[in-house]
């Protein structure tokens, strides 16, 4: 049965699973960024999630807010570059929306994904359709809000499916932000690398909550 909610230790375990999934996907993320950017996204994400995994394993994480913000801080301080700032912002801004919550449920997930997505859009300036990670995050946030009354495991399954659909939709978009912008129409036919990472993170979270 899918999990109804997770306490701080449960969120630490779920985020550790997401970090492992990104580390395992490094070659695939490298290829995705090679098609549209400079090919460093896999290495950067893997470095950020290795730092996040260490922080999660170090102990002392006593709230769901801190579990998410710790991942964001580890990514920001270890990755650098555009994606360090935007992925770090996602987990930090999303985590702050969970202040005071003792557990993560469907409603908390909606607050997390919505606030994290808004944080990324404010920080990076990308809108839906610009062919960035926002194209996976925005549909994920919509799905999370629609699923906020569901048990966490079911809500996460909806969010993961929406993020994957958003990643797939980014294939058909023309890049207007970041390094891929210089490719113009030639950027069509490949998914955005950051959107691929977002889809992997939510898939791993959903699988963990379901398992
Ligand atoms: P860099 O662009 O510095 O080489 P990465 O290759 O690690 O960094 O990450 C590229 C990804 O970061 C893009 O695929 C995109 O999803 C995301 N990204 C870059 N700039 C922005 C932005 N301003 N807003 C949202 N996401 C962005
Ligand atoms: Mg890159």
Q: Is the CB of 120 under 6 A from ligand 1?
A: yes
Superfamily of domain 8-210 in the CATH hierarchy: DhaL domain (1.25.40.340)
Residue 2 pLDDT: 55
Give the environment of ion ligand 2: residues with CB less than 5 A: 33, 37-38, 40-41
Q: What separation in angstroms does the CA of 128 have from each of 18, 26, 132, 135?
A: 24, 25, 8, 5
d(CA 13, CA 106): 17
Q: Which residues of the chain have pLDDT under 50?
A: 1
Residue 81 pLDDT: 81
**Domain range list for the chain:** 8-210
CB atoms within 10 A of CB 1: 7
pLDDT (tens digit, 9 = 90+) per residue, 137-172? Answer: 999 999 999 999 999 999 999 999 999 999 999 999
175 C-alpha to center of ligand 2: Å? 14
């Amino acid at each position: 049965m899918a999990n109804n909610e997770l306490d701080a230790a449960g969120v630490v375990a779920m985020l550790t699973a997401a970090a492992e999934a990104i580390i395992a996907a490094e070659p695939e993320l490298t290829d995705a960024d090679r098609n549209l950017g400079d090919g460093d996204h896999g290495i950067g994400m893997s470095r950020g999630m290795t730092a996040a995994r260490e922080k999660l394993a170090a102990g002392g994480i006593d709230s769901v807010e801190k579990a998410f913000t710790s991942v964001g801080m580890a990514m920001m301080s270890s990755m650098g570059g555009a994606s360090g700032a935007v992925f770090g912002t996602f987990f930090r801004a999303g985590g702050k929306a969970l202040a005071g919550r003792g557990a993560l449920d469907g409603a908390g997930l909606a607050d997390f994904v919505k606030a994290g997505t808004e944080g990324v859009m404010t920080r990076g300036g990308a809108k839906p359709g610009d062919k960035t990670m926002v194209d996976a995050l925005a549909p994920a946030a919509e799905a999370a809000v629609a699923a906020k009354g569901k048990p966490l495991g079911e809500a996460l399954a909806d969010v993961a499916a929406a993020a994957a659909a958003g990643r797939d939709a980014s294939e058909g978009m023309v890049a207007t932000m970041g390094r891929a912008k210089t490719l113009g129409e030639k950027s069509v036919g490949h998914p955005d690398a950051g959107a691929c990472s977002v889809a992997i993170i939510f898939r791993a979270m959903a699988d963990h909550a379901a398992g």
